Amino acid sequence: MSLLRLTYLALAIAGTVLPMRHYLDWLSANGWSLGGMIDAWFVNAATTGMVWDLMIAAIALIVWALAEIWVRRNWIALLALPATVCIGVSCGLPLYLFLRSGRVS
């Protein structure tokens, strides 16, 4: 495996662990309320701006990945889509790049 692929994989792992640690801490402290977490994302202009920035980036990643997956027939790369939606762009993008850089069968 190349150094570049290992870097993508390491970033995907970090992009999973770091955000999830904070999400789980917040959820455990606030009664596992997903609605409460979403409300917290829009608590002020700074967090609202960050949420919109990340949502637009996630949508762009998903559209690009779907178009490229369809052309390349790299179906395993579809795993990056739920990672993007459920965890975030910090996991989905490096995971997609890791899966994209592998050999397509």
Residue-wise pLDDT tens digits, 19-58: 999 999 999 999 999 999 999 999 999 999 999 999 999 9
Over residues 63-90, the pLDDT tens digits come to 999 999 999 999 999 999 999 999 999 9
Assign 104 a pLDDT band (cuts: 50, 70, 90): confident
Rounded to an integer, what distance in angstroms lies between the CA atom of residue 30 and that of residue 98? Answer: 34
Q: Is the pLDDT of residue 93 over 90?
A: yes
Residue ranges of alpha helices (H) inside 1-88 are 3-29, 34-41, 45-72, 80-86
Structure confidence at residue 103 (pLDDT): 83
- The closest alpha carbon to 83, from 33, 2, 9, belongs to 9
Structure confidence at residue 105 (pLDDT): 65
